[in-house]
Amino acid sequence: MSNVFQFPASTPLPDEDKTRDQKLFTAVKTAFFYTLNAVHFVLVVVMGLFMPILDKIMGLVIAYQFFRMLFLWKEPNVHAGWTFCAYLFGWAGLLLFLARWNPKKRNFSG
């Protein structure tokens, strides 16, 4: 009973591996937010210039998709309901992103 084998304890990662992983994560996070902020800037400029026109056009397109969905509801393999949902939620998501994204704070606090 005196021969007890000690299992090796888990060795922690060296500090340089942790800092390297943390630097990589920070670089990826920074690149992601720079890209997101650039997309936000382009969308704000384009939507700011063309919003009166785009608002009316998208209203008509979404209304058309709604009535198309009602007319083709029972048809197999048409998926008009999903198309309507994609247009509606895509437009609403775009407007929500433009209204709530804060590039300086990098969040949706407004």
Burial tier of 68 (Cβ tally within 10 Å: 0-12, 13-18, 19+): middle
90-to-23, 31, 95, 99 alpha-carbon distances in Å = 34, 24, 9, 14
Q: Is the pTM of this model over 0.85?
A: no
pLDDT of 109 above 60: yes
What is the per-residue pLDDT across 45-85, written as a single tens digit (0 to 9) for each?
999 999 999 999 999 999 999 999 999 999 989 999 999 99
- Report pLDDT for 81: 94
| Count of other CB atoms within 10 angstroms of residue 37 | 15
What is the per-residue pLDDT across 29-52, written as a single tens digit (0 to 9) for each?
889 999 999 999 999 999 999 999
- Report pLDDT for 79: 93
pLDDT of 13 above 60: no
Task: Show Cβ contacts of residue 41 under 8 Å, excluding neighbours closer than 6 positions.
Answer: 103
